[in-house]
Amino acid sequence: MTNASPNPLPIAFQLQFSDPVWRLVFEQVDTSPGLVVAELRNRDSQTLTFATVSLPHGKVVYETVPQLPFHSSLIGIWKGQALYHRFDNNRLPVPTALGNVDLKTGQPRWEWPQHVLTGADAERVWAQRASLTDLTTSPVVAFRLADGEPVVTAENPPVFNNSRLSFPVSYTTASTWWPVVDRYIKKQTQQEPIGPVEYLEIGDKLIFSYYYRETNDQLHASVLITDRLRTIWLYQKTGQDPETARPLSELNVQPLVGNGSFCVWQNQIIIQTTSTCLTSYYLKPMP
């Protein structure tokens, strides 16, 4: 390994949970205080828990079991208001309702049956009806974010854009960029990555997340952060379980949630270092 450094990046926080972290859902309004909700899922007890964490310091504000079915999923947070899709039938991939859940109490504030989210901002929510049998495109309707009351607006649903949040791209062995990332990781770590590799550039930092096999043939995951001069700033085995890890693209068609091994919020990387642990480092020293 070249220019190895013993984790010189300053740590922002580390959180240990009792159940596995399924994914991360972030505050979408740039002017609102930073929030991330960790969806925790215990498959044995079929328990869904929302752990609300303030950013940048990683303080757990609330941890609650919502009054929702186990397969329900948060979509995003707008001005502290958390929107979710209810899934009442785990065999059908279509949401049965769109709603707003109170992160402190776990109680739904409002719910619109058979609707799916198409857009949201700090005041309004846009949605369409969802059906397995009716394949026609239904009109977009709008509600107030706070109480779910219908509103009339000529505006189109806003494009999802979170300037504080960055997710990696995924390179498979079929990608034209695979030889580049493969060669770089091999040279820096003497490890052979097993695709796909997640990659992100932030400022002068190059961030890689990948799987590799050790001499005993065990599969392991690691995060590597270097700068453009190839100085290693972080090289950490993450302990991700390859059987349960989900690629970023699986549930993340829109850039709202984190399903991969890491993401970057402002100046800090958030890594799922084990199935039940989140660790965050500052990518640049804080003033």
Per-residue model confidence as pLDDT tens digits over 148-184: 999 998 788 887 778 999 999 999 999 999 999 999 9
For residue 76, give both structure tokens.
Answer: 């995003």
Name the amino acid, one letter, at 168. P
Q: Which residues pair with 163 in a beta bridge?
A: none
Instruction: Report the C-alpha gap between 77 and 102 in whole angstroms.
Output: 11
Instruction: Report the C-alpha gap between 15 and 37 in whole angstroms.
Output: 12
What residue has token string 């044995």?
44
pLDDT at 27 exceeding the cut of 70 = yes
pLDDT at 135 exceeding the cut of 70 = no
The domains found in the chain, sorted by start residue, are: 29-151 (2.40.128), 165-282 (no CATH)
Contacts of 254 (CB under 8 A, 6+ apart): 160
pLDDT given for residue 238 in this prediction: 85
Q: What is the pLDDT of residues 215-229, one digit of tens each?
A: 777 888 999 999 999
In the chain, % of residues over pLDDT 90: 70
Instruction: Report the C-alpha gap between 117 and 92 in whole angstroms.
Output: 17
- Burial label for 210, CB within 10 Å (0-12, 13-18, 19+), is buried
Higher pLDDT, 238 or 202: 202
**pTM for the model:** 0.87
Higher pLDDT, 217 or 122: 122
Under the banding of pLDDT at 50, 70 and 90, the label for residue 195 is confident
pLDDT given for residue 90 in this prediction: 74
Higher pLDDT, 256 or 78: 78
